[in-house]
Amino acid sequence: MMHDETLLKIRRLLDNTEIQPVEKLHSVLRLAAYHRAWLIANTLVHTGGLAVRAGPFKGMVLPSRVAEGCFVPKLLGCYEAELHPVLEHIRQRAYPNVVNIGCAEGYYAVGLARLMPRSRVWAYDTDEKARATCARVAEENGVGDRIVLGGAFAHDDFEQFTAGETVVIVDIEGAELNLLDPETAPVIKGLDIQVEMHNSFEVAFNRDFIARFEETHEIQRILPAERDISAYSELREFEHLDQLLAFWEFRRGPNPWLFMTAR
């Protein structure tokens, strides 16, 4: 069924005369790659189960399908590996409150709850199905009692969190430029913030956005990096294209991160 659905989508794309050939081929490539990535996921789950293989969240049990984005990098434990030093910093600081805005299926919310047994995690997502999945994953991993779920997060919601005791993790597909505004929500001047920047490098390192926090935060810029295939033994028998697809995080462009620590 999955194969037939993908073929049908590809045929519709190829038959669409309103799409330019280059754009059409690009869309077909993404569809085929997406499909292949899920076949790789099915193989890895069949041979090794749903527990994260490595990284800071090793041992966390994932849902069989994620609410958004890729699956194999999360299963391997290399998803957003550039942020692993930040996660270790968060673990060592042992913030009483972790606020995850854009929690999806709970990869970070549940992962950090497992890493930090004395912390409470506040997980927000506008997608009802994502919140339901996050709640289920939290229960399956034994941290359901320390995760508070919510929907849309507004500027006023920052007021309930205390400076020095809170880290905020933001991944909201471009809406971070509006949400993270110290003029509208002054309390964030005292909060530590990890944010994924979207759309392009121009937007990501926009001087106007960074200027909002230069006086109140130490700002670390984190760029996407390559993965070491040889570090993952489960991939050694895969052909090279499948190895590359195993690390694909379904991004349309390089989305850097900022980790901003309140002074």
The residue among 153 and 173 whose pLDDT is bigger is: 153
Q: Across all residues in the chain, what is the average pLDDT? A: 92
Torsion of Cα atoms, 83 then 86 then 87 then 88, to 10°: 130
Quick one: pLDDT band at residue 78, thresholds 50, 70, 90?
very high
Among 109, 92, 255, which Cα is nearest to 168's? 109
67 touches 110 (CB < 8 A): no
Question: What stretches of the chain show up as alpha helix (H) in DSSP?
Answer: 2-15, 21-48, 72-76, 84-93, 107-115, 128-140, 176-179, 201-204, 207-211, 240-246
pLDDT digits (tens, 9 = 90+) for 175-221: 888 999 999 999 999 999 999 987 655 554 577 888 999 999 999 99
Say what the pLDDT of residue 251 is.
84
pTM over 0.75: yes
Whether the predicted pLDDT of 254 surpasses 80: no
pLDDT digits (tens, 9 = 90+) for 28-45: 999 999 999 999 999 999
Whether the predicted pLDDT of 159 surpasses 60: yes
Say what the pLDDT of residue 92 is.
97
| Residue spans per domain, the chain | 2-74+227-246, 81-225+252-262
3-state secondary structure of 248: coil
Other Cβ atoms within 10 Å of 66 Cβ, number: 21
Say what the pLDDT of residue 208 is.
81
CA 5 centroid distance within chain: 26
66 touches 44 (CB < 8 A): no
Residue owning tokens 């749903």: 50
152 touches 125 (CB < 8 A): no
Say what the pLDDT of residue 205 is.
55
Say what the pLDDT of residue 174 is.
78
Domain 81-225+252-262 has CATH 1.10.3720.10: no
3-state secondary structure of 257: strand
The percent of residues above 90 in pLDDT, for the chain, comes to 78
